[in-house]
Amino acid sequence: MSARVITVSQDGSGDYLTVQAAIDTVPLGNTCRTIIRLSPGVYKQPVYVPKTKNLITLAGLRPELTVLTWNNTATKIQHHQGSRLIGTGTFGCGTVIVEGEDFIAENVTFENSSPELLNEGSGQAVAIRVTADRCTFYNCRFLSWQVTFNKSEARISSSPTLSPIHRRWPTLYWNLKSYCLYDHLHDTLYLHYGRQYLKDCYIEGSVDFIFGNSTALLEHCHIHCKSAGFITAQSRKTSQESTGYVFLRCVITGNGGSSYSYPGRPWGPFGRVVFAYTYMDQCIKHVGWNNWGKVENERSACFYEYRCFGPGCCQPKRVTWARELMDEEAEQFLMHGFIDPDPNRPWLAQRMALKIPLSA
């Protein structure tokens, strides 16, 4: 069955004026691929893809020209859907919420534009939440601006004497240690449930900005650490779960400072994260991983690296409870089979082969 193509343009030249209006036309229980072609523009509206509105593609021309943005936070949610449907707090504050399976996005920016400062206590500011299986993102950007500590200071130094959070609350910071004040802020990409594949994407944030309990493969992605914090917070709860995040041939960059960001910490006791063939900037702490203030997490968390490189990669100084994988151990994480394990019913290859009509 051929795909249905519809267009969205804010100047009235398309089929619809808003992204949500186009999604609303897709029937529940949809079985036909619907490609929503987005004209360049900044679309200021929360977007919700409901359960069973499957097989939707959002396609822009270039990610920097096609921006979906809104400014909800965990404590301030304005949405056209009620909380009984989208949820509350971190779960409901995403600019885009995807619950329909087989969702694809290409050349789109997902942004949470909340400008709230640290001392206003507005909580997490999620750019997108994905609670759906078999979702893919190609050449997309995921941005959250809530990482600003002070409008006049864009850089966070690794030195306690220079960081604005240290200057404002020096005693409180050191008492809280790994919990610190950062724990109540900033989440960008909420990979909550299902399987996801991200390729050639840009993701930036500060604290726990890639988080959840999905099974995700991020390939050739650029991860940018805007300030002190943690890249991942994976929440696998038992060793029997197959969930986890794999970063394959990615690049991690920072703001010019040294040793201020951790690759991750376990949101769940069995959190699983793998970085393979990934460049790590000097922003990454040499100790690597953080236990979230719980020694017991060190016995269960599965934090691995494989043939990573760069100034932030320093295996001799890593914590003893995380390790470098052996070749045979790493093999399972270096293939698309990590998220698409059944060769008789492949889904990822079908998604990757999708061609969006140039005439759309």
Residues annotated as catalytic are 208
Query: What type of residue sits at position 22?
Result: A
**Max CA pair span of the chain:** 64
| CA pair distance 113, 128, nearest whole angstrom | 12
CA atoms within 13 A on the CB side of 90: 18
Give the β-pairing of 189-193 and 215-219. Answer: unpaired
SS (H, E, C) the chain: CCCEEEEECCCCCCCECCHHHHHHCCCCCCCCCEEEEECCEEEECCEEECCCCCCEEEECCCCCCEEEEECCECCECCCCCCHHHHCCHHHHCCCEEECCCCCEEECCEEEECCCCCHHHCCCCCCCEEEECCCEEEECCEEEEHHHCCECCECCCCCCCCCCHHHHHCHHHHHHHCCCCHHHHCCCCEEEEECEEEEECCEEEEEEEEEEECCEEEEECCEEEEEEEEEEEEECCCCCCCCCEEEEECCEEECCCCCCCEEEECCCCCCCEEEEECCEECCCECCCCCCCCCCHHHHHCCEEEEECCECCCCCHHHCCCCCEECCHHHHHHHCCHHHCCCCCCCCCHHHHHCCCCCCCC
